Amino acid sequence: MTSIETSEKLKENNKKISENHEDFRIFGLITFLIADGMTFAGFFAAYLTYKAVNPLPDGAIYELELPIPTINTILLLISSATFHKAGKALSNQNNSNSQKWLLITALFGIVFLGFQIFEYFNLPFALTDNLFASTFYALTGFHGLHVTLGTLMILIISWQVRPDGGRITNLNMFPLEAVELYWHFVDGIWVILFLILYLL
């Protein structure tokens, strides 16, 4: 195959991928998120089993306050919406607007993490105090790791979506779509976590 032919094919293929949003890369990502979700499912199952069969020993402290996690839930839900705005803006070829919405989303992520750390410092129990304390930190910590990773990725794509010569354009939306999907996933997990850990 000559190099001219190859580059022709490359163009043709890129066009096909951008025309067809549901390409196999998104499919692969969804599969990965299902796997990731199963890790959380394992943690949740462990937590619920503990709750059912392992009573809190006398004198052990495990109390959670609702205000911070409620604010955090609202923050993440709004951030899902702002991310969606960023995607909309990009497909309308408005890169600077998209960049703005991405940075706002990242800010929400950072504030979420800030609140989370603040909560950690103000809880009346530590990691090794009792079974529920350990499970609480493991679950929220693992989720926080996901938020951290997501925020970093949002910052990276917000750089790549810049109007002058960024890699991500309305013809190459995949990186943005992938991170968006991941971000919605992380938000969804938080909602489940909030229900099970704080409200149940």
Residues at the contact surface with another protein, assessed by CB under 8 A? 6, 9-10, 13, 23-25, 27-28, 31-32, 34-43, 45-46, 49-50, 53-54, 57, 60, 127-128, 130-131, 134-135, 138, 142
Q: Which is nearer to another protein, 13 or 93 (CB)?
A: 13
CB of 82 to another protein, least distance (A): 29
Residues 142 and 93: their CA atoms lie apart, in Å, by 36
- Shortest spacing between CB 89 and another protein, in angstroms: 27
Residue 20 or 70 with smaller CB distance to another protein: 20
Q: Which is nearer to another protein, 80 or 135 (CB)?
A: 135
Evaluate whether 153 touches 179 at the Cβ level (below 8 Å): yes
Closest CA to 179 of 199, 149, 144: 149
Least Å from the CB of residue 75 to another protein: 26
- H/E segment holding residue 141: helix 131-160
Say how many Å lie between the first and final Cα of the chain, rounded.
Answer: 62
Residue 136 CA to residue 103 CA, distance in Å, equals 30
- Which of residues 97 and 134 has its CB atom nearest to another protein in the complex? 134
Q: Which of 174, 183, 188 shows the shortest CA–CA distance to 155?
A: 183
CB of 18 to another protein, least distance (A): 13
